[in-house]
Structure 1
């Protein structure tokens, strides 16, 4: 999102790691905010924000920069940027891109699909949308399609510059995706929406009948009382009578219009699903990097380090999983109660020097995972273990390339004051 923001002409300053301030909003995003959300950029000029939920949560206990906004799906700025990018790069999105998954075991095509149910009410836009679903549809190796949450895209990563080129297979026809999505998503959505709207419409009709009838009856009683005064010779109330009769006519017409609108709301029809974008998703374990070499390790220290790291996560209320034997590209996958994820590389040291070595492959994987990546360095493994944690180490730390394409050296002095 940051890259797209800049490409559109936006400018922002990084106040600290992963916390930014908007200095210039792209003109297309300003227009979208104003048109769709009635938000003028002057009202949000120079806002501070971050894209990373964990950083946003951690910042709440600090707060020294003032208010920081979490920019995520559902936020007007985020959604406006997505809309602008989607409109500008629609053809490229349909052609597809390559994303990397740290969780999946097989490669697949993923499609971002929008399914809508519309009614017959007039709208300033092309359609009056009654219900909308955004889903991720993916095609497995056997050719079958499946549904999952679009939130899965959050865990996917774009390839880094040192990833070897990935050539996707021939893309499936979007017509096949649309047809399957209509049968498996839209048809059921249509039935569910009909049932919901039928009940909602009936409830609203009862309320409208009751509310309007009561108000109209009250006005009619007031008119009768005023007409009685006219018979007694009070000619000054005639204007009041006319105004109340006009109000009664206005309410009758408004009631009729509301009831007609409810009838139109109940006249539903499904739209053909729309494929908003496509991606070829590759498991992290299948990604190859330039210059992949292994390295030796102290198995006893590493085993103690893994145990300490697992215990740290458990004590913090997370659910860690030891996958060090699975060649996933990291040692631990840990999930918080809020479904946040950490992909943790663990290094153990038994001596006083906490300097470590990372293979180029390990460095590549850490860089690939960005802020989701963590490096846990466990000191004094064979005496009194201490855990030190660094988020996004490929960015936060300066490594020394000791042998071209072989390994990276991280001096203890470099990481010691940058732990969490």
Structure 2
């Protein structure tokens, strides 16, 4: 089938049928993540791919809510050998306490050429009992010790320290472009392009009409080949991956989806040049009065691959320049006004400042790359050197047997070929490690600039002294509760405090008031509250300058009633609401 036909078949399977039977080609360009059960029927006519396929089958089997069975034709000679291999691998896995054994099966069968054994079974070259006996390895302490030494403890340990992994996942969760941002962008841009949609009662989007301009972009051959085709409509769509997994009948729209990619392409064509000319925004908080410049920074490694890309936002006013979070844009109000603008710095001067930011970004990437390189050196290079040493010894022993008159030429050639592959792999790994830590930056690309004026809405303007008092009270309370709070208010992450306790992390937005007036969440804060749910807390400090009272509201996005004020891009909570729903401490 062509790509277009495969996508149609995928939709038919998802919406109308219960079972799909397909070759491996079905996996090219289509998404079968909605599948509940996947069965891989593996007929071993091509033993050359045995290790690769078995490793892949096992990894698929670890996916949540997806079950993968490996069915082997056991009534054949080669099937019987494969069955024995699987049984032995399971025994080794249980002894090691690590599933990694399935990814390196050729390495755990020391001195056994699996490819050769299956060939001998297929060709009747040896007695089947002898072949099976060759696979009957004794899994004792000495054997486990050899595996640990050669593959490294990381592949053979039952317990893994997940602390660093959890920290990285938490950081990614905080900084990534969450679905709420993508959905809001889509709604605004889609309407601008002339599309029609409505929000269903269940929260899904019903996309009723696709604009002609988007269809035209999607008809391009290269576009279809890369992203697929756009449907006539999407009666049930979501931008949240977790919701999509729970609702297989819903269309999951994110980066890579043909509709979103066509919309982004249309926006770029229609507005990219205008963006570079600038725009005017108003800051309801009254904090910003200057220009925000946007640049794209890129870091590449020695292989020419992109190691990282980041949008840099630089705020410039009479006091100089500083980096701000690009998400600040969500908290500003677009304005149509004409005024003569005098800018203190030129684009080239700001670009020079952006170079410094990209250099800092490169340092962070390099730190992680060097950490990964050490792991590859410790385990990858060490393992390959060990195997090469083992093969040298085995070849030497075979040469001695040959000198005594034994016909072991085939075995010698096999060992030498295996050694050559390991040496080549070692050479490539060393080169790859060197290339991955050899990072360079490109000149930051100018994306656009906006002029920001302070608010003309006094009720939205905050008081720095009152806000400082509120932060002090919130930080003190967190420490008293045995948690470790970190003030991140200047980073504009959508919360002010990241507070870590035993088995929990709180994302806290602090709102302080001179009296007991309403509080306002920015779009950025509201999006994060919706995303983090039970992890997100709103701390309201009332009567901050006289007799401070602290109110705690958990999961405010779902537990409070908000009034959306579009003209100032804020979500307002009345004092009656936050006092009644909040826990007073």
> Which bracket does the TM-score occupy, shorter chain normalised?
0.5 to 0.7
For 1:101, the equivalent position in structure 2 comes to: 283
Which structure has greater helix proportion? 2
Residues 314 and 323, structure 2, Cα contact 8 Å, conserved in 1: yes
For 2:381, the equivalent position in structure 1 comes to: 209
* CA distances 1:146-195 after superposition (whole Å, capped 9, x unpaired): 11112222223434xxxx63546245532121012224x13434455555
For 1:299, the equivalent position in structure 2 comes to: none
Mapping for residues 46-195 of structure 1, pairs under 5 Å:
46=234, 48-49=236-237, 76=256, 80=261, 82=264, 85-86=267-268, 89-122=271-304, 128-140=305-317, 142=318, 144-159=320-335, 165-167=337-339, 169-170=341-342, 173-183=346-356, 185-194=357-366
For 1:264, the equivalent position in structure 2 comes to: 435
Mapping for residues 272-287 of structure 1, pairs under 5 Å:
272-285=443-456
For 1:367, the equivalent position in structure 2 comes to: 566
Question: How far off its partner does 1:261 sit?
Answer: 2.6
Do the aligned partners of residues 134 and 96 (structure 1) sit closer, same or farther apart at CA in structure 2, a change above 3 Å counting? Answer: same
Do the aligned partners of residues 336 and 12 (structure 1) sit closer, same or farther apart at CA in structure 2, a change above 3 Å counting? Answer: closer
CA distance in 1, matches of 2:236, 2:514: 37
Residues 323 and 333, structure 1, Cα contact 8 Å, conserved in 2: no
For 2:205, the equivalent position in structure 1 comes to: 20
Question: How far off its partner does 1:145 sit?
Answer: 1.1
More relative contact order, 1 or 2 (CA 8 Å, 6+ apart): 1
* CA distances 1:361-384 after superposition (whole Å, capped 9, x unpaired): xxxx933246x44575979xxxxx
Do the aligned partners of residues 42 and 207 (structure 1) sit closer, same or farther apart at CA in structure 2, a change above 3 Å counting? Answer: farther
CA distance in 2, matches of 1:166, 1:260: 56
For the pair 1:4 / 2:181, whether they are aligned, the reply is no
Residues 47 and 69, structure 1, Cα contact 8 Å, conserved in 2: no
Question: How far off its partner does 1:258 sit?
Answer: 2.2
Structure 1 alignment gaps of length 5 or more: 123-127, 288-316, 343-364, 380-384, 388-420
For 2:520, the equivalent position in structure 1 comes to: 333
Mapping for residues 320-399 of structure 1, pairs under 5 Å:
320-322=511-513, 331-334=518-521, 338=528, 366-369=565-568, 372-374=570-572
Residues 234 and 251, structure 2, Cα contact 8 Å, conserved in 1: no
Question: How far off its partner does 1:138 sit?
Answer: 1.0
CA distance in 2, matches of 1:6, 1:223: 71
Question: How far off its partner does 1:210 sit?
Answer: 0.4
Residues 253 and 260, structure 2, Cα contact 8 Å, conserved in 1: no
CA distance in 2, matches of 1:146, 1:377: 35
Question: How far off its partner does 1:203 sit?
Answer: 4.2
Residues 520 and 572, structure 2, Cα contact 8 Å, conserved in 1: no
* CA distances 1:207-259 after superposition (whole Å, capped 9, x unpaired): 33202112223334444455455456554x53343233222212212221221
CA distance in 2, matches of 1:90, 1:193: 29
Q: How many residues align?
A: 304
CA distance in 1, matches of 2:269, 2:300: 21
Residues 109 and 280, structure 1, Cα contact 8 Å, conserved in 2: yes
Residues 322 and 333, structure 1, Cα contact 8 Å, conserved in 2: no
CA distance in 2, matches of 1:31, 1:180: 41
CA distance in 2, matches of 1:64, 1:263: 45
| SS of aligned partner of 2:234 | coil
CA distance in 1, matches of 2:188, 2:267: 11
CA RMSD of aligned residues (A): 5.0
* CA distances 1:38-64 after superposition (whole Å, capped 9, x unpaired): 764689x8384567x9xx99x99xx99
Residues 86 and 276, structure 1, Cα contact 8 Å, conserved in 2: no
Do the aligned partners of residues 269 and 41 (structure 1) sit closer, same or farther apart at CA in structure 2, a change above 3 Å counting? Answer: same
CA distance in 1, matches of 2:207, 2:249: 14
Which structure has greater strand proportion? 1
| SS of aligned partner of 1:244 | helix
CA distance in 2, matches of 1:208, 1:193: 21
